[in-house]
Amino acid sequence: MENIEQKLISRINEHAAPIRIMHVCGTHERTISKYAIRDIISKDVQLLSGPGCPVCVTPAEDIDFAISLAKSGKVIASFGDMMRVPGTRGSLFDARSDGYDIRMVYSIDDAVKIAKDNPTLDIVFFGIGFETTAPANAAALLREVPENFSMLTSHKLMPPAMEILTEDTIVDGFLAPGHVSTIIGTYPYNSVSERGFPIVVTGFEVLDVLLGIAMVQNQIESGRSCVENAYSRCVNVEGNLKAQEMMYLVFKKIDSKWRGIGMIEKSGLALKKEFEQFDAVNVYADIYEKAQHEKKVSDIDNNQNEMWEGCICAEILTARAQPAQCPLFGKRCSPKNPVGPCMVSLEGTCYNWYKYTHNKGI
Amino acid sequence: MQALIRDLILNNITNKSAGPVGLDDLDDGATINIANTMDGSKKCDEIVITTDSHVIKPPFFPDSNIGRLAVSGTVNDLAVMGAAPLALTCAIVVPEGFELESFEKIIKSMNAAAEEVGVPIIAGDTKTVERNGLDSIIINTTGIGIAGDVIRDSGLCPGDKIILTGTIGDHGISLLAHREGFDFSTDLVSDVAPLWNMIRAVIPIRNVEGKPAISAMKDPTRGGLAGALNEMAQKSGTGIIIHQRDLPIKESVSSACEMLGIDPLEVANEGKAIICVKAEHAEEALSIIRNHKYGRDAAIIGEATDGHSGKVLMKTIIGSMRYVDIPTGDLIPRIC
């Protein structure tokens, strides 16, 4: 007997017409690649990978600033997958190999603990991620942190980026990220669906992703464009109001630079004035200015996408190209020796393509 | 690491073999052909030798400790070459101030693991180093075993069935959860165990011509099942297809891996073996393994193929085929 997954695959294939569905979540890419969903559904239904990997879209200048802080004797506490992403001159891992104090943490609480345990050291937490990680970071600051703790904030907001993507006509519909949506709810996507794009909030199991695809397909087929929720076991319309409240007690929306995309209006978070004593940009303003200046005279200054020669991560992050089209993919660029950010992160499109689909010879 | 081993070690040692399996083979151990050193006339059992230094943070982990790991690791390296463990040696390096009580516990665990498979620990060395030179204990064990037919990790042939002797990822995930303080609300513990008693039961299986039915074995420790299967496929020159539906995995390991963005195929095991067997003997071997306490969850997880030489593929639960890559390095949990 057919199980639900197989029924959904049959449904998607029976109704296949040329459509392009974009997801904007690294974990969706992971599920799609891990289960080779692209291979088992009709080639007409194209699954595109958008800018859903938080470390991939973190601008090189923020990494450069973190490295400059480390070089001036501060302790950098960072999530693991941020550590391998190259800035203008190397990654945090490279800086650690050079002897600077850079520590891998699993949450802001670990970083706060390091600060409390080491009152003579200055700890800078590298706060990145979408709406999923921002509330936890806000909560930590609201709980009180020691004086020797500060935060380098590089948080990004997903809906403004999706709005930018709709201006490109290559997408017919979206899978919205389940994790982000648990926090923000489904209503912020109305601005996307009102532009005529079907959008389905989708979870991360293979069944969730297949359901999301089928629901987007169904909307396109019936000429509708609205926000639907295929992840109702975790997501509701208004989201987690407490988390949102904490987030905006601590952070304010700012225009923000996305690696590979550029500036997007109101798409990032910065610490509010009340928290400026914990804002690394403010506390270490001199180091920040110097890092900014150094970047201007660096090799990739003329490359607005902050990518290396031959690397097409910028196109990949916006689904204008697929990894296999990159001349470096699988040759000079692999998970062992990544060139661009999309190959570094576990959430990166190139990493997942390489890991699960590259060269399998079937 | 492989490149470092090749460039800095293999290239700089000139005499690397004392029998059919030597250093260049990078197998779980090496063999010394006693017949060659005696009269060289008739087929003789082979001596198998292996060595391993064990470091683990923290030295005490759920349900076990570095002592049991150090003995099990070496016994298993011998066992997967088809060798009965004859004797072990043990060299320990500890920092000054290492708690005596912990030290004794570790030694008692070593003894219990060795007793389980009846192998004596016959020589040893203990060194103490300055506290700031080392932050925990290091245990090296060397094992000598004897094998009638040495089993390699490169002996896989197309058509052979692949048996995994139990659930994957128990050791790595229980250790990660313990070390990093993740509370998955489970009673998951490390699987570390000496496997000789289980493996010795399948070694005698022979085909009608009297040849061993077991074609290859390996223990999927660091690098997990993905690392071990890739190595076997590459060395044997065959492809491997495994079936996700048949992979034994505990619900708690599966959920923890999903949450952390870790592939359970890449997580270390310390009490599991991959046993490759001629297809016609697969069920017989499986039932013998399942009769042993360390093999209750054993399953036939796949087979070796003619095609995709040197590569490992997995048929997913939705029927698609996915590439199982060689793990690249340390497991790093994702952020969101």
| DSSP notation for A14-40 | HT--SEEEEE--HHHHHHHHHTTHHHH
Judge contact between B335 and A85, C-beta under 8 A.
no
Q: Which residues contact A44 (CB under 8 A, 6 or more apart)?
A: A16, A17, A18, A19
Beta-bridge partners for A150? A124
Domain boundary among B147, B172, B189: B147
From chain B, the residues in CB contact with A350 under 8 A are: none
The mean pLDDT of chain A is 90
CB pairs under 8 A between A and B: 92
Q: Supply the pLDDT for residue A361.
A: 42
**Residues B137 and B31 placed together within one structural domain of the fold:** yes
For tokens 């930018």, what's the residue?
A164
Tell whether B14 is covered by a domain.
Answer: no
Cis peptide before B58 (omega within 30 of 0): yes
Q: CA A28, CA A179: separation in Å to the nearest integer?
A: 10
Judge contact between B287 and A337, C-beta under 8 A.
no
Least confident of A30-34, A286-290, A346-350, B230-234: A346-350
**Residues B118 and B189 placed together within one structural domain of the fold:** no
Query: Hey, is B331 helix, strand or coil?
Result: coil
Nearest in space to A74 (alpha carbons), one of A151, A162, A184: A151
**Residues B167 and B310 placed together within one structural domain of the fold:** yes
pTM: 0.86
Tell whether B1 is covered by a domain.
Answer: no
CA-to-CA separations, A199 to A196, A249, A342, B90, in angstroms, rounded: 9, 29, 24, 62
A359 CB near a chain B CB, below 8 Å? yes
The DSSP code for B5 is: I
Judge contact between A325 and A352, C-beta under 8 A.
no
Q: Which chain A residue lies closest to B266 (C-alpha atoms)?
A: A355
pLDDT digits (tens, 9 = 90+) for A65-105: 999 999 999 999 998 888 888 888 889 999 999 999 999 88
Instruction: Answer yes or no: is the ipTM higher than 0.85.
Output: no
Sequence letter at residue B9: I
Judge contact between B241 and A361, C-beta under 8 A.
no
Tell whether B134 is covered by a domain.
Answer: yes
pLDDT level of residue A350 (50, 70, 90 thresholds)? very high
Q: CA B51, CA B190: separation in Å to the nearest integer?
A: 22
The sheet carrying A102-105 orders its strands as A102-105, A75-79, A123-129, A149-156, A262-271, A251-258
Q: CA B211, CA B49: separation in Å to the nearest integer?
A: 24
Q: Do A361 and B307 touch (CB under 8 A)?
A: yes
State the CB neighbour count (10 A cutoff) for residue A33.
Answer: 23
Q: Is residue B35 scored above 90 in pLDDT? A: no
Q: Which residues of B200-210 are buried (b: 16+ CB within 10 A; e: fewer)?
A: bebbeeeeeee
CA-to-CA separations, A217 to A24, A196, A226, B88, in angstroms, rounded: 17, 14, 12, 63
Of B261, B320, B335, the CB nearest to A36: B320
A336 CB near a chain B CB, below 8 Å? yes
What are the structure tokens assigned to A123, written together? 């700890």
Q: CA B73, CA B78: separation in Å to the nearest integer?
A: 9
Query: In angstroms, what separates the C-alpha of A297 from chain B's closest C-alpha?
Result: 32
Question: Which one is predicted more confidently, B209 or B80?
Answer: B80
If you average pLDDT over residues B284-311, what whole number do you get?
97
The CATH number covering residue B74 comes to 3.30.1330.10
What are the structure tokens assigned to B166, written together? 């139990």
Query: Hey, is A263 helix, strand or coil?
Result: strand
State the CB neighbour count (10 A cutoff) for residue A266.
Answer: 14
Kindly give the pairing relationship between strand A173-177 and strand A19-23. Answer: parallel
**Residues B234 and B258 placed together within one structural domain of the fold:** yes
Tell whether B289 is covered by a domain.
Answer: yes
**Residues B135 and B170 placed together within one structural domain of the fold:** no
Sequence letter at residue B317: I
Q: H or E stretch including A78?
A: strand A75-79
Percentage above 70 pLDDT, chain B: 93
Percentage above 90 pLDDT, chain B: 72
**Residues B142 and B174 placed together within one structural domain of the fold:** no
Domain residue extents for chain A? 4-53+159-229, 60-154+241-302, 313-356
From chain A, the residues in CB contact with B263 under 8 A are: 34
pLDDT digits (tens, 9 = 90+) for B98-122: 999 999 999 999 999 999 999 999 9
What are the structure tokens assigned to A76, written together? 């950098």
Query: In angstroms, what separates the C-alpha of B136 from chain A's closest C-alpha?
Result: 20
State the CB neighbour count (10 A cutoff) for residue A53.
Answer: 33
**Residues B98 and B185 placed together within one structural domain of the fold:** no
**Residues B35 and B98 placed together within one structural domain of the fold:** yes
Q: CA A174, CA A165: separation in Å to the nearest integer?
A: 10
Q: CA A111, CA A77: separation in Å to the nearest integer?
A: 6
Tell whether B156 is covered by a domain.
Answer: no
Domain boundary among B117, B147, B177: B147
Tell whether B16 is covered by a domain.
Answer: no
Domain boundary among B120, B147, B174: B147
Q: CA B123, CA A198: separation in Å to the nearest integer?
A: 71
Q: Is residue B28 scored above 90 in pLDDT? A: no
pLDDT level of residue A1 (50, 70, 90 thresholds)? low
The CATH number covering residue B204 comes to 3.90.650.10
**Residues B36 and B170 placed together within one structural domain of the fold:** no
Cα of B181 vs its chain's centroid, Å = 26
Tell whether B247 is covered by a domain.
Answer: yes
Count the domains in chain B. Answer: 2
Beta-bridge partners for A260? none
Q: Supply the pLDDT for residue B38.
A: 52
Least confident of A92-106, A216-230, B38-52, B283-297: B38-52
What are the structure tokens assigned to A329, written together? 């993919």
**Superfamily of A60-154+241-302 according to CATH:** HypD, alpha/beta domain 2 (3.40.50.11740)
**Residues B50 and B169 placed together within one structural domain of the fold:** no
- The residue range of the domain holding B175 is 161-323
**Residues B125 and B249 placed together within one structural domain of the fold:** no
Q: Is residue A362 scored above 50 in pLDDT? A: no
Of A130, A204, A356, the CB nearest to B322: A356
Q: CA A141, CA A153: separation in Å to the nearest integer?
A: 12
**Residues B82 and B132 placed together within one structural domain of the fold:** yes
Q: Angle, to 10 degrees, between the axis of helix A108-117 and the axis of helix A134-143?
A: 30
Q: Name the A residues in 248-307 with CB < 8 Å from any B CB.
A: none
Q: Is residue A304 scored above 70 in pLDDT? A: no
Domain A4-53+159-229 has CATH 3.40.50.11750: yes
Return the ∠ at Cα A323 (arms to A318 and A327), rounded to 5°. Answer: 115
